[in-house]
């Protein structure tokens, strides 16, 4: 059971607001100390209108299942000291835009999206604000309405995207660490996001196209036909994009290690496709296509996977 407390490291009231009350948002809210966290609802909530809190059953990675109640941030309340953004990549810019007027200009904003592209868009849109990105290997899902499961134990790295974010890094890591989850400061967050992008670029689209769990792609002829070219494209774009590259053989090894470790998992893209929800393809293989075109690298395999997913999903 989370203990009541305050995030002393943060300025102001020490409260953390989470924008995006989905799997990731509910995972963090379930672990952060009671009384320090609120959800930002899609529509404004006042004491007179709307539901004051979100209640769900939370299954921790270890330990008992518990019922968690997280209040919504009321329109009448003081703004939070830290904003965690756990929307899908495609919703992120719009979601922040709608909520920024209430936020002090020096409140740190931490982006939790997979893939790349949306983090840069947010940092470019608000370059003066302290914007940070998180790359996490924690896994959460919602197998039934009102039930959130911490399905995979991982680690989280947080690093600055804008100049002013640098001075907030330690306090943000400390505040997120009050959850009991493992959180590290990462100066080179771009590289860390690329490392995760590689995994998602090599697994997600294949699982969504083949409609199979992660491990099943490895023996599939479609995967085996395209994986080497895909890794070669990723290696070249990575080199041009951040000046550091992994050999394509290492990229393939990393992809296959994660596919084996998460063999029975349904990837987020397969899950989005099955539920008829927009996928994050534009921020995964689609991001590599965009950077490839901008940097003069041929990316036909990433383009083919992106096109396939766009044909299959809305």
Ligand X SMILES: CC(C)(CO)C(=O)C(=O)O
Ligand Y SMILES: NC(=O)C1=CN([C@@H]2O[C@H](COP(=O)(O)OP(=O)(O)OC[C@H]3O[C@@H](n4cnc5c(N)ncnc54)[C@H](OP(=O)(O)O)[C@@H]3O)[C@@H](O)[C@H]2O)C=CC1
Terminus-to-terminus CA distance in the chain, angstroms?
40
Residue 72 near which of ligand X, ligand Y, none (CB within 5-8 Å, type-dependent)? none
Handedness of CA 246, 247, 252, 253 (dihedral sign): negative
| CA-to-CA dists, residue 194 to 155, 180, 198, 246, 284, angstroms | 16, 26, 6, 11, 10
Nearer to ligand Y (CB atom), residue 84 or residue 209: 84
If DSSP codes are grouped into helix, strand and coil, which group holds residue 31? helix
Least distance from ligand Y to the Cβ atom of residue 249, Å: 26
Identify which of residues 99 and 268 has a Cβ nearer to ligand X in the complex. 268
Separation CA 20–CA 31 (nearest Å)? 16
Say which entry of ligand Y, ligand X, none residue 258 contacts (CB below 5 to 8 A, set by partner kind): ligand X
Q: Which two tokens stand for residue 239?
A: 């080199």
306 binds, among ligand X, ligand Y, none (CB under 5 to 8 A by kind): none
Among 7, 136, 156, 207, which residue interacts with ligand Y (rule: CB under 6 A)? 136
Other residues' Cβ atoms within 10 Å of the Cβ of residue 46: 11
**Which of the ranges 121-129, 136-144, 165-173, 255-263 carries the binding residues for ligand Y, by CB under 6 A?**
136-144
Closest to ligand Y by CB, 233 vs 280, is 280
Q: Give 38 or 262: the residue with its C-beta nearer to ligand X.
A: 262
Q: Which stretch binds ligand Y (CB under 6 A): 28-36, 109-117, 184-192, 207-215?
A: 109-117
**161 in Cβ contact with 189 (< 8 Å):** yes
Min dist CB 243 to ligand X, Å, is 25
User: How far apart, in whole angstroms, are the C-alpha atoms of residue 120 and residue 313?
Assistant: 25
Given 68, 82, 89, 173, the residue binding ligand Y (CB under 6 A): 89
Nearest distance in Å: CB 17, ligand X:
24
The CA-based dihedral angle spanning residues 298, 304, 307, 309, taken in that order and rounded to the nearest 10 degrees: -130
Is 186 a binding residue for ligand Y by CB under 6 A? The answer is no
CB of 252 to ligand X, least distance (A): 15
Cβ atoms of 51 and 45 closer than 8 Å: yes
CB of 81 to ligand X, least distance (A): 29
Binding mask 246-285 for ligand X (x = CB under 6 A): ------------x---x--x-xx-----------------
Calculate the dihedral angle through the C-alpha atoms of 63, 178, 124, 292, rounding to the nearest 10 degrees: -40
Considering the complex, state which of residue 107 and residue 268 has its C-beta at the smaller distance from ligand X. Answer: 268
Structure tokens at 96: 């922040």
Considering the complex, what minimum distance in angstroms separates the CB of residue 8 from ligand X? 32
Quote the tokens at residue 249: 């053989």
> What are the catalytic residues?
196
Say whether 66 sits in a helix, a strand or coil. strand
Please name the residue that has the structure tokens 């907030």. Answer: 168
Q: Which two tokens stand for residue 10?
A: 């943060």
Choose the stretch contacting ligand Y; rule: CB under 6 A; options: 58-66, 69-77, 87-95, 208-216. 87-95
CA distances from 79 to 42, 46, 76, 131, 150 (A): 16, 14, 9, 17, 28
Residue 231 phi, psi (nearest 5):
-65, -35
Which 208-237 residues touch ligand X, going by CB under 6 A? 214
Q: Which residues contact ligand Y by CB under 6 A? A: 19-25, 42, 86-89, 91, 94-95, 98, 112-114, 136, 139-140, 268, 280
Q: Which residues contact ligand X by CB under 6 A? A: 114, 199-200, 203-204, 214, 258, 262, 265, 267-268
């Amino acid at each position: 059971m989370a203990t009541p407390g305050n995030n002393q490291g943060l300025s102001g009231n020490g409260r953390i607001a989470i924008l995006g009350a989905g799997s990731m948002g509910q995972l963090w809210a379930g672990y952060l100390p009671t009384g320090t966290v609120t959800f930002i609802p899609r529509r404004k909530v006042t004491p007179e209108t709307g539901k004051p809190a979100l209640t769900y059953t939370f299954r921790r990675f270890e330990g008992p299942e518990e019922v968690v109640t997280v209040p919504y941030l009321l329109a009448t309340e003081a703004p939070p000291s830290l904003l965690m953004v756990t929307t899908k990549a495609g919703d992120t810019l719009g979601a922040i835009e709608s909520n920024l007027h209430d936020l002090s200009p020096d409140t740190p904003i931490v982006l939790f999206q997979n893939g790349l592209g949306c983090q840069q868009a947010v940092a470019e849109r608000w370059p003066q604000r302290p914007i940070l990105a998180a790359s996490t290997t924690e896994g959460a899902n919602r197998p039934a309405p009102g039930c959130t499961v911490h399905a995979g134990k991982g680690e989280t790295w947080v690093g600055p995207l804008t100049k002013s974010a640098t001075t907030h890094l330690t306090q943000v890591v400390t505040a997120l660490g009050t959850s009991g989850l493992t959180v590290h400061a990462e100066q080179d967050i771009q590289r860390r996001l690329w490392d995760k992008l590689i995994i998602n670029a090599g697994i997600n689209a294949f699982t969504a196209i083949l409609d199979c769990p992660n491990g099943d792609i490895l023996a599939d002829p479609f995967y085996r036909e395209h994986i080497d070219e895909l890794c070669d494209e990723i290696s070249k774009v990575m080199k041009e994009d951040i000046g550091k590259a992994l050999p394509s053989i290492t990229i393939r090894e990393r992809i296959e290690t994660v596919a084996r470790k998460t063999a029975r998992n349904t990837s987020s893209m397969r899950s989005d496709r099955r539920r008829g929800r927009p996928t994050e393809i534009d921020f995964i293989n689609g991001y590599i296509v965009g950077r490839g075109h901008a940097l003069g690298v041929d990316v036909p395999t990433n383009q083919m996977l992106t096109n396939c997913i766009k044909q299959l999903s809305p």
